[in-house]
Amino acid sequence: MVHCAVDMKNVQYRYPDGHIAIDEINFEVGLHERAVILGANGAGKSTLLSIICGILEATKGTIKILNEELTAKNVHEFRARIGLVFQEPDNQLFMPTLWEDIAFGPLNMGLTDKEVNQRVDEALKVVGLSHLKEKPPHHLSVGEKKRAAIATVLAMRPEILVFDEPTAHMDPRTRNEFVKFLSKLHSEGNLTIITATHDVNIVPLIADRAYVLYEGKFIEAGSVAEIFSNAKMLEKAHLTPPILTQLFLNTIKHVPQMVHEPLPMTLAEASSLFQKYCKIPT
């Protein structure tokens, strides 16, 4: 029986030029959990995700995916079970048309034409790009490419979904839709979702647990509320808490009764707190 989606022990990755990009990583993600890796530019997020997905081979430590040790021999078997949406969509799109790009994975899985068609249509619909299916991917806008890259992975129906900076280049509406879509995907399916980002404002909406990466090492792990309450640690990692958290922390300096309230994670939670303590008329 599978208990852990990802189980990394003392993992290190040293690039060929000698740079150790991640080190002493212990990372356990339970099945159906939503984990987020927070870290500034260069912290090692993309390197870590590439190791989890078997694109880079760790130079130290052990990695289990869905309870099986990841080795050079079995890495290909995991390709359909763990899907990485790359930070740069150009690394994921290489076929003459968008349709072919999304069909590429399912075709390689040996599915029938009918199943491939179904999967491609569904993935295109989910990301709202059905109308662009005949276009060459290099003619898409950056935000559209990002959504297209997500579709190529969704069509594989992986058990673990891994996103590297998913909201980069997305406009506000697309970003909101993406966050909603991720929640829906998680609540409907048996998916484990790992996301690396420095877009702290989306974190409460897409994750249960957060890990802070700083210079290649995890310096903190905890619930999203625990992580965002620790302003000093975030500062060390060159991150700032979400704007809602900052507003709450500033307000409790003037409204000390609020100090016992849990950190608001959504706009709705923050609004009801401010109505309760600051007597904002409704």
Task: Note the residues at the interface with ligand ATP (CB under 6 A).
Answer: 15, 17, 19, 21, 39, 41-47, 87
Q: Tell me which residue has tokens 């740069």.
A: 88
Residue by residue, DSSP assigns 179-190 as: HHHHHHHHHHS-
Residues near 168 by beta carbon (within 8 Å), at least 6 away in sequence: 87, 146, 199
Q: How far is the CB of 92 from Mg ion (least distance, A)?
A: 14
Nearer to ligand ATP, 159 or 199 (CB): 199
- 76 backbone dihedrals φ, ψ, rounded to 5°: -70, -30
Nearer to ligand ATP, 95 or 221 (CB): 221
- Exposure string of 102-113, with b = 16+ CB inside 10 Å and e = fewer, is bbbbbbeeebee
Residues near 56 by beta carbon (within 8 Å), at least 6 away in sequence: 13, 47, 50
Q: Which of Mg ion, ligand ATP, none interacts with 15 (beta carbon under 5 to 8 A by kind)?
A: ligand ATP
Nearer to ligand ATP, 133 or 175 (CB): 175
> Contacts with Mg ion: how many residues (CB under 5 A)?
3
Examine residue 50 and tell whether it contacts Mg ion (CB under 5 A): no
Is residue 232 within 8 Å of residue 245, measured between CB atoms? no
Separation CA 23–CA 109 (nearest Å): 34
Q: Tell me which residue has tokens 């430590």.
A: 61
C-alpha closest to that of 258 among 243, 242, 245, 240:
245
Nearer to ligand ATP, 19 or 184 (CB): 19
Q: How far is the CB of 177 from ligand ATP (least distance, A)?
A: 23
> Which range binds Mg ion by CB under 5 A, 45-53, 59-67, 118-126, 267-275?
45-53
Q: Which of ligand ATP, Mg ion, none interacts with 139 (beta carbon under 5 to 8 A by kind)?
A: none
C-alpha closest to that of 61 among 6, 113, 108, 17:
6
Q: Which of ligand ATP, Mg ion, none interacts with 17 (beta carbon under 5 to 8 A by kind)?
A: ligand ATP
Q: Tell me which residue has tokens 């999304």.
A: 102
- Choosing from 46, 152, 192, 195, the residue that interacts with Mg ion (CB under 5 A) is 46
- The residue number whose beta carbon is nearest to Mg ion equals 46
Nearer to Mg ion, 88 or 121 (CB): 88
Q: Which of Mg ion, ligand ATP, none interacts with 19 (beta carbon under 5 to 8 A by kind)?
A: ligand ATP
> Which range binds Mg ion by CB under 5 A, 19-27, 39-47, 112-120, 245-253?
39-47
Separation CA 155–CA 118 (nearest Å): 9
Q: Which of Mg ion, ligand ATP, none interacts with 152 (beta carbon under 5 to 8 A by kind)?
A: none
Note the residues at the interface with Mg ion (CB under 5 A).
45-46, 87
